[in-house]
Amino acid sequence: MNSRTQRNLGWLIAMIGVIALITPMLLSQSAGSTPATDHFQRSFAISQSGTLHVDNYKGTIHVTGSDGDQVVVDVTKRFEGGNDSDRKWWMENTEVNFHNDSGRVSVEVKYPQWNCGFCWQGHDFSAEVDLEIRVPRQINVQLESYKPEIRVAALQGDIQIKSYKSPITIDSTTGSIRVDTYKDMITVKNVTLRGPLEIKSYKADSEISAKALGDSVTIENSKGSTVLRVPQNAGLDVDYEGGRRANFRSDFPVSSTAGNFQSGFHGTVNGGGTRLHLRTEKGSVSLEKLTAQL
């Protein structure tokens, strides 16, 4: 066997060795690229006017009122990308913890973190936990999140939401509403307020359509737009203050007692009523008439 043949044979053996080494890795990555899910359900008894508390970093938090007398939590862990090792590790180390007594149910999702001093290989995957929760209609809800999609519907209780980069929708509820958020969109529609409405946001846009208002409404935004739609006969005591590059507009005639629409004023709509406290910095506020289509 001449030297050239020996060299070619050596290269061939080396290539076969490399293929043998990387084939299991490629098969693992191929298997891991198929989305994986893990689903389970938990149910808890709760007293009327009890409280549901949920803390989920990302994914979804969907809470819907029903005619039942229990809190029913459907949990789905979703994992996509990565490899078998990543998927197994994430599924095993992502915890959904439940705590309950007669007046309160708590759901807390704890996501794992990579605990390594030097990770030479990146982990290319996406993973989240989705929560679909059915509750008795007359219940209070407290939600905390980083950036899941949040939807709350068909409740007759008080709602509190604190979030970051979460699209928020509140639909067909009766009670007070308090939202404190950063970025994304807040949609409140078809609600009847029993208690205060408080929306505090930064770089987030809000659209609020209320069939009836409570005693007070407080809306504060920075670098965002707010549209507030109320019935044509709503009585309002308006206290508006706009900072730099802010603007205010109204479908209603406002009897102003002091100030102007550019920087701030006090005034009334339909003779006064609900205290309407509006603040914006580099944003806009629109007060509109609620129409049947909305």
290: tokens are 């609620």
DSSP label at 206? E
- For residues 70 and 45, give the distance between their C-alpha atoms in angstroms, rounded to a whole number: 5
**Higher-confidence residue: 68 or 30?**
68
65: tokens are 């009122």
Residue 10: the pLDDT is: 56
Torsion sign, CA atoms 155, 188, 62, 143: negative
Domain boundaries, the chain: 1-32, 33-160, 167-294
SS3 6: helix
What confidence tens digit (pLDDT) does each residue in 259-279 have? Answer: 676 788 999 999 999 999 999
CB 258 within 8 A of CB 266: yes
What confidence tens digit (pLDDT) does each residue in 225-253 have? Answer: 999 999 999 999 999 999 888 999 999 99
From first CA to last CA, the distance across the chain in angstroms is: 87
SS3 9: helix
Phi, psi of 89 (to 5 degrees): -65, -45
Residue 27: the pLDDT is: 44
Which has the closest alpha carbon to 179: 197, 195, 157? 197
Cα separations in angstroms, 111 against 52, 59, 76, 149, 150:
20, 11, 13, 17, 18
What confidence tens digit (pLDDT) does each residue in 138-197 have? Answer: 999 999 999 999 999 999 999 999 999 999 999 999 999 999 999 999 999 999 999 999
- For residues 195 and 127, give the distance between their C-alpha atoms in angstroms, rounded to a whole number: 38
- For residues 168 and 253, give the distance between their C-alpha atoms in angstroms, rounded to a whole number: 31
- For residues 268 and 122, give the distance between their C-alpha atoms in angstroms, rounded to a whole number: 59
Residues 6+ apart with CB under 8 A from 62: 130, 131, 132, 133, 149, 150, 151, 152
* Whether residue 18 has pLDDT greater than 80: no
- For residues 209 and 190, give the distance between their C-alpha atoms in angstroms, rounded to a whole number: 6
Share of the chain above pLDDT 90, in %: 74
DSSP label at 213? -
